[in-house]
Amino acid sequence: MHPILFKIGPITIYSYGVMLALAVLVCTWLLSRDAKRCNISQDAAYDLVFWCMLGGLVLARVFYVFIEWPYYSANPLEIPMIWNGGLAWQGGFVGGVLAGVLFARRRNLRLRPLLDLSAPYVALGQSIGRIGCFLNGCCYGKPVAWGPYFPTHNARLYPTQLFETVSLFIIFLILKKAQGRGYQPGFVFALYLLLAAIERFLVEFYRGDTVPCWLNLSLAQWVALGVFAAGLILIKIFSKK
């Protein structure tokens, strides 16, 4: 669509990178504003976002390169070119959570309230980031007559990126609503796992850049099933409490 927003001399501004930066700025500001509920200072909230974003970006890229290894093995110089798109939700989720766990231990913070605090903004950040995917033309859908035209692919495709933008924003609203309902610590995070897994599993049926790996399901769908199971188990545990 519009992978390059504009150029200033030798500097190229990519739409994917701009939306990624916007997601970080918006979510950092909102999370730091709500941090007082967990007795977290704004400085600590900024540190949390930094380390979670760093861990998430690194593993998201590693996982994406792993999935697309036939391409990157032939083009190894493109592996660090994150501004061209190519982040896997599964790797980003694992990297972000691991970074959050390590951060909580180093700062002696309670982990489950911290996860509940962050979960809505993870969904919101993903929602904003998918707009970057749409502008970049990555994470595209299958051909469909009524879809928007993608010059990069010379075809009309399902706007799966926008499907995810809308659905993840709805998940953000649901999680924010759940935060004020007095659930046991960890419940909101578990709800995020459940809803995000359902969202990704369904959208995968319309994606055109993935292929089935077993039982006609893609690797992302199998990962989503695992995340769904984990979220369901945690919700049952926290609901009983």
Condensed to tens digits (0 to 9), the pLDDT of residues 97-132 reads: 888 889 888 888 888 888 898 899 999 999 998 999
Confidence of residue 173 (pLDDT cuts 50, 70, 90): very high
Judged on CB neighbours under 10 Å (0-12, 13-18, 19+), 184 is middle
Q: How far apart are CA 85 and CA 71, in angstroms?
A: 14
Cα 203 to Cα 139, 166, 194, 199, 222: the distances in Å are 11, 12, 15, 6, 13
pLDDT digits (tens, 9 = 90+) for 18-47: 898 899 899 888 988 888 777 777 788 888
Q: What is the helix (H) or strand (E) element at residue 151, kind and residue range?
A: none
pLDDT exceeds 60 at position 83: yes
What's the average model confidence in pLDDT over 69-87? Answer: 78
Task: For residues 241 and 235, give the distance between their C-alpha atoms in angstroms, rounded to a whole number.
Answer: 10
CA gap 225, 145 in Å, rounded: 30
* Alpha carbon distances (Å) from 229 to 170, 234, 236: 21, 9, 11
Strand partners, 217: 214
The answer to whether residue 179 scores a pLDDT higher than 70 is: yes
The answer to whether the CB of 171 falls within 8 A of the CB of 191 is: no
- Asked whether the predicted pLDDT for residue 162 surpasses 60, the reply is yes
Q: Burial level of 22, CB count in 10 A (0-12/13-18/19+)?
A: middle
Closest CA to 20 of 44, 54, 51: 54
pTM over 0.95: no
> What single letter denotes the amino acid at residue 49?
V
The token pair at 120 is: 């809505």
Q: Do 175 and 122 touch, CB atoms closer than 8 A?
A: no
The larger pLDDT score, comparing residue 86 to residue 138, is at: 138
Within the chain, strands assigned E span 4-8, 11-14, 149-150, 155-156, 212-214, 217-218
**Are the C-beta atoms of residues 168 and 27 closer than 8 Å to each other?**
no
Most confident of 104-113, 151-160, 163-172, 219-228: 163-172
Q: What are phi and psi of 204, to 5 degrees?
A: -60, -25
